[in-house]
Amino acid sequence: MHRRAYAIIITCFFTVSIAYSIRYSYGMLLPEMLTDLNISKTQAGTIYAVYFVIYTIFTPLLGTLSDLFNYRLLLSVFTALLGLGALLMAVASGFAQACLFFSLAGFGHAACWAPVASLVQKWVPDNKRGMALSFVTMGIGLGLPVWGIVLPMIVAAADWRMGWAALGFFGLGVALLNAILIRNPAAPDAAQATAMSRFGQIWPIYKALIKQRPFWFIGTAYLLAGFNVLIPFTFLSVYATEDLGLDYAVATRFVGIIAFFGIAGQLILGTLSDSLGRIRVLILCSLIMGTACLGMIFFRSEWGLCAVAAFYGLGYGAIWPVYAAAASDFFRKDQTGSVVGLWTVYLGLGSIISPVICGWTIDQTGVYTSAFMMGIVSGILAALVLIRLLRSDYLKTAG
């Protein structure tokens, strides 16, 4: 593998790490922000929702633009916007400003997954794609625990604003790293294309993709994965404190366990997908996540939930790199950014509706069992949808 490929994998690791750290650090800093900004919990949720809506809207477009234009420019500029949005959060004085500034971070994050996944796949050999993407997505599993330790220390020494400032400056540093290390893959056929002609290619690319059955099957399974993931990330800690009576410090540990064991899932199952096939591994991940949701109902002790969270993490960690790698198995390499970008819309829809539907059922029933039952069902449905592609996956298995 070319030395430049290793440099790109490293900088993409940091890009993914800071993007998801900024997204999920909102929840870590929110308790301190509520009083200082004088916002309600509804307003706090709206700020986060605005971020995710902007991210979901722009991800497919930026994924396609990465295929047609300049990876180096795109990832440098949008990672800088991500960092700038976090930095501006440090000076937010109220609800409206926080919505505006965090939406800028969401806009920047929109270019920090689909283009990253596409770029990595264009620089590494086919038989290394699963392993390379698994390493890149380890940035999420490693970044979240690190910032989970660092941010409380910063808040204790200063305040929540300094926490956002630290995240913002780190994001700007990663943007500079992208500008230094990233190089565009060779694209001789498109080298002379004008900007207008490249924009003109966007709709034909989308039109061609939506006519293909694998796009819809995998996209639907990705939606169900997004729905499933938001159940434990939203409700597991609350379930542990309110329903099981566990201490808050213990309850918040379960999400960290999921993220930590997600690294093992990325390394083991992500690498295994290079030989076993993406679809087979995605089916396995879906069943692991569904089974773990069943375990969350019946394993009601601290150590039981620790084990279930670790098991869930194995499936959760592998789905991101393996879905991204599947794009090159079923579609042309020059369309991978477009494919992953459009699939992220499915993921966004699943992620948006999951906490609303599950939260409503919890409010109506007064118990969390119904939410975890939907996690079981979504995992099984995702596996059933993907089974339809096993024959294609067998014919196109990487390696």
Percent of the chain with pLDDT over 90: 30
**Length of the chain measured in residues:** 399
Residue 84 confidence (pLDDT) above 90: yes
Picking from 127, 142, 82, 122, the residue whose alpha carbon sits closest to that of residue 106 is: 82
> CA 193 to CA 210: how far, in whole Å?
25
pLDDT digits (tens, 9 = 90+) for 216-227: 888 899 999 988
Residue 396: band (very low, low, confident or very high) from pLDDT cuts 50, 70, 90: very low
pLDDT of residue 394: 43
Q: How confident is the model at residue 128 (pLDDT cuts 50, 70, 90)?
A: confident
Segment 333-358 mean pLDDT: 76
**What would the mean pLDDT of 96-124 be, rounded to a whole number?**
88
HEC string for the chain: CCHHHHHHHHHHHHHHHHHHHHHHHHHHHHHHHHHHHCCCHHHHHHHHHHHHHHHHHHHHHHHHHHHHCCHHHHHHHHHHHHHHHHHHHCCCCCHHHHHHHHHHHHHHHCCCCHHHHHHHHHHCCHHHHHHHHHHHHHHHHHHHHHHHHHHHHHHHHCCHHHHHHHHHHHHHHHHHHHHHHCCCCCCHHHCCCCHHHHHCCHHHHHHHHHCCHHHHHHHHHHHHHHHHHHHHHHHHHHHHHHHCCCCHHHHCHHHHHHHHHHHHHHHHHHHHHHHHCHHHHHHHHHHHHHHHHHHHHHCCCHHHHHHHHHHHHHHHHHHHHHHHHHHHHHCCHHHHHHHHHHHHHHHHHHHHHHHHHHHHHHHHHCCCHHHHHHHHHHHHHHHHHHHCCHHHHHHHCCC
**pLDDT band, very low/low/confident/very high, at 335 (cuts 50, 70, 90):** low
Lowest mean per-residue pLDDT among 164-178, 234-248, 316-330, 376-390: 234-248
Residue 280 has pLDDT above 70, yes or no: yes
Of 94, 110, 25, residue with least CA distance to 348: 110
Average pLDDT over residues 276-300: 93
Asked whether the beta carbons of 170 and 82 are under 8 A apart, the reply is: no
What's the pLDDT tens digit per position in 31-77?
678 778 887 756 776 787 788 888 888 877 776 666 666 888 889 99
Mean pLDDT of 112-135: 79
pLDDT band, residue 399 (cuts 50/70/90): very low
Q: Which domains does the chain have, with CATH numbers?
A: 1-182 (1.20.1250.20), 204-399 (1.20.1250.20)
pLDDT of residue 190: 47
Does the pLDDT at position 164 exceed 60?
yes
The pLDDT of residue 104 is: 96
The per-residue pLDDT for 92 is: 93
317 pLDDT higher than 70? yes
pLDDT for res 193 = 52
Confidence of residue 296 (pLDDT cuts 50, 70, 90): very high
- Asked whether residue 241 carries a pLDDT value surpassing 80, the answer given is no
Residue 117 in this model has a pLDDT that exceeds 70:
yes
Confidence at residue 398, expressed as pLDDT on a 0 to 100 scale: 37
250 pLDDT higher than 80: no
Which pLDDT value is given to residue 78? 94
Phi, psi of 212 (to 5 degrees): -100, 130
pLDDT of residue 263: 84
pLDDT on residue 249: 64
The per-residue pLDDT for 270 is 81
What integer is the mean pLDDT of 269-283? 86
- What are the tens digits of pLDDT across the range 144-160? 778 877 887 888 888 88
Kindly report the average pLDDT of the chain as a whole number: 82
Q: What band does 204 get if pLDDT is binned at 50, 70 and 90?
A: low
